[in-house]
Structure formats: structure tokens, C-alpha cells
Structure 1
Amino acid sequence: MPTETNQWLTVSYQPVSLFTLKRSDATNMAAKSNLVPTPYTIKMALLKVMLENFGKHHANDFAKWIKKEFTWIRDLQIYIQPPERIIVNRNGYKLRYYDQTTDKADKTRPTLAMQDGFVFREWVFLEGELQLCLGPTQRLEELENLLSQINYFGKRSCFFQYLSDRTFSSIEPQLQSTFDQGFILQPLDDMGKTTTFDKINPFSSERAILNKDRIPTIGFLPLRLIETSTRYDFYERY
């Protein structure tokens, strides 16, 4: 692919399992799911693949290397087109989980390492292709290579199959929302323009700040709600 000028890359994935991705405004015990992967999640998946492939070659200059690589991934703009049909299944169940406050609790009072709880989760069935358009960038070949190695978005086991014959580049971005048809609003968080790798690295002592390093935004998805009940929602794409 030519890389002389900034271009956009459009790719497609086939969902092969149920999808779930807890919204950034959800609690640990009650979590609604995003209907599609968010730009933040997609960029984290790109970073994961890049680190797995090339991080071992930069043990001596990792800080300098990751700063440069992280910047071009962070600055990508991402447009998302959901699959043709989406069914959201709502589930509530009991579980036993580790009390994360135990280590920080007052040591003079008794605490339980494990405790019972009732949790609410949503699992999403996606029928059709998930399309992503990323750019603008001069690193189309590298971007395509990274995207082709991603096999899940959201929680582990939420698998997607990359469709190599559905990939193409363009001068202008594809999949942009148009307001001449219906849409629904969906939280789609993204990375802040000034955030650093250490801020989003879970192994770093630095912590990301909401609305600065992780930006909650509202996306417009070309979906319409066909049916709904206490147990499920059924959407179709316009």
C-alpha cells in the first residue's frame, strides 16, 4: 500500500463468540455492556499485539521506543460500523469473589477474603461484520499487520476473526455517521490527546485520570431498537 500521504484503513471482523465490554461508567457489581468495541479498547488491542511482537527487541531502549510507537496509535481516529443485528442478553447471578478492600481495610476489624455477591452482566450476540476505519496515518502496512493479529476485543474469549479480503485503504475516512437516518447514542471512550503509555499501563505506578487520559465520548451508531424486554434488546442496523 502507498504510504506517502496520510490515508485511512478500513478493516472487517467476523464475531465468533459472544461479546461483552463493561462500560466505563459501570460499577463492579452492575455493568451494562457496550454494543461494540470502543476506540480505547481497539487501541489497547493494537498496543498488546505490538508489544507481544516487538517489545522483546527493545529491552535496552524500551522507554524511547514505546513513546514513539504509543503516540501514533494514540492519535488514530477510529470510526465504527456495528454488525447488521445485535441482541443484548441481560443476566443476573450470584458469585463468590475476592474482597478487594481486604488488604486496605482497618486491620483491627475482621474481614473476609471471599464474599458473596449478586452481579448484573450483559452479553452481546453480534450477527454480521464489525467494520473499523482507522487513520489518518502513513503507517498503513504496519497498522494492517497489527490489526490482522487481533483476535479478541473486550474481555478475553470475546473472539473476532479478521477478514483479510475485506481490507482496503482510502484517502477519505469511511463509516462516518450521517444524520439523515436514525441512530442511537452509545458511550465510546477514547484515549486523551496528551496521555502517555505509563498512564494507561496497568503495571505502572501512574494512574489514568478520567476526562484527561481516558475521555468518555458519545458515539452515534446507525442502529434502531426493534424489540426489548426485561431479558433482552434486539437492534438492527440502518
Structure 2
Amino acid sequence: MMRFSAIFQPTTLFSLKESNSTNKGAKSLFLPSPYSIKMAILNQAITIGGDLSKLEEKKSQEFGFIRDSKISFYIPDSNSFCVNNSFVKIQEPVREGSGFKPTISFREYVFISDKIEIIFEVSAIEAKQYLSKYLYKINYFGKRGCFFQFLEFNDNPPEANVKPFDAKKGVMGVLQSYDDFDEKATFDSVNSYSNSTVKRSKQILVLPLQIVGASKSFTLFK
């Protein structure tokens, strides 16, 4: 297996609601999920690389490079996460008839003070080359408008400090549920315009953070 990382600097507030959240109330993840990162790579491969026909192929090698990559994270000690509580106006479908109506929803927007390092583990140099070709072109994760600036690649990334939750180890931190592509996922199953059922795997991750300040409108983690 081969490891490398892509380092990004958040430039705006970040928001990506947990997949099991309701539309009316949604807490945000602190980091882009592996699922959202892989979807961002797919978006670049299609819109910039013109690889749609290759990705759609049965047993596509290019799609396999994206799906099979294992993603973990390293958060520098200097980083802090300020979670801002907000009520926003959204549109929701009306229960009877067609159309939408305005309503109020709870959302969280996260200020990330420093860079984050996204670590990839792949099985071959070809996979690394394919992912690297599009990673540096990505400019947002999560909700559109949650911008990130690519900084650099690192061929010798540190050990990830965002770990899978293990009740036996009793690691302290913030627990969040993150989505990833299912190991048997196909391009059709992650295609937003397909009728196929979306296949996702879930993992509880422990972020090495603790609360250092809070009020009714924000919570600060470091």
C-alpha cells in the first residue's frame, strides 16, 4: 500500500450535515467526509478530465481508484474549530400538491482556523497519479460555497490522528459519523441522476478535540 496526502486550507465557513440528520435540524461534521471527498474527485474527473465514459464502464479502473482509496485525516495541534449555531430560512416541499414553502431550519457553520491534511492510502502508483491529477483542482467540499484552497501534496504524511472509534481503547475526543463509498459501489450507485440505491458505508471517527469555550451561539473546540 502507498500513502500520500493533500493539504487544504479552509477559506470560508464549512458545513456538511450528517447523513442521518433531518432537513429541519442538522448538525455539521467538522471535516469533509470520505464520501464527499470522493464525490469532489469524481466531479473534477468528469467536468475537467472528461472521464465520464471511462467512469461509467463496468469494472471501471478509474472509478476503482477513487472508490478503493482509504481516507484518513491529520489535524494539526494549532487548529481550532468554532461551531456557529444558526437558524436559516429554507424551502421545503409542500405536503399537498406541488411546489415549495419557506420554513426555518437549524444549521451549524464551522470556522476551521488552520489547514487540514487528507491522507490517502492506495494500492498502486497509478491510483496515486490519477487522484493527484484532480485533487489539486478541488476548491470546495460539502455545501457549495464551503471553499478550500489546495496547498500542497505530501509524500510522507504523518500518522492520522483522527481514529476509528474503539470502545476498548477509550480514546477521548469528539465522535462523529462519517460516510464513505461502499466497497461494492459502482458509478451508477453514486450518480445523483440515477435511480439506483445509493450505497454508503459508515464509520464512527474520534476527532482529537475538546471544548474550550461555549455560549448559546457557538462552541469552540481545540
Superposition TM-score tier, normalisation by shorter sequence: 0.7 to 0.9
Q: 1:198 aligns with which of 160, 165, 188?
A: 188
Unaligned runs of at least 5 residues, structure 1:
1-5, 106-110
Compute the TM-score of the two structures, normalised by the length of structure 1. 0.80
Compute the TM-score of the two structures, normalised by the length of structure 2. 0.86
Show CA shifts across 1:204-236 (max 9, x none): 12121xxxx112210111111112232111011
Matched-pair contact (CA < 8 Å) for 1:98–1:114: yes
Tell me what 2:166 maps to: none
Structure 2 counterpart SS, 1:89 = strand
Task: Name segments (4+ residues, structure 1) moved above 3 Å.
Answer: 176-182
Q: CA deviation at 1:48?
A: 0.8
Distance 1:69 1:100, change over 3 A: farther
How many residues align structurally?
213
Residues 61-72 of structure 1 correspond to what in structure 2 (within 5 A)?
Answer: 63-64=56-57, 67-72=60-65
* Structure of higher CA gyration radius: 1
Distance 1:42 1:98, change over 3 A: same
Distance 1:121 1:66, change over 3 A: farther
Show CA shifts across 1:132-190 (max 9, x none): 100123232322221101110001110000002xx2224x8732447797422111111
Show CA shifts across 1:105-146 (max 9, x none): 5xxxxx362323121111110100111100123232322221
| Distance (whole Å) between structure 2 residues aligned to residue 62 and residue 200 of structure 1 | 11
Q: 2:204 aligns with which of 209, 215, 218?
A: 218
C-alpha RMSD of matched pairs (Å): 2.4
| Distance (whole Å) between structure 2 residues aligned to residue 118 and residue 177 of structure 1 | 33
Tell me what 1:3 maps to: none
Q: 2:82 aligns with which of 73, 82, 87?
A: 87
Structure 2 counterpart SS, 1:234 = strand
Unaligned runs of at least 5 residues, structure 2:
164-168
Structure 2 counterpart SS, 1:14 = strand
> 1:64 is matched by which residue type in structure 2?
E
Tell me what 1:125 maps to: 111
Q: 2:160 aligns with which of 175, 179, 182?
A: 175
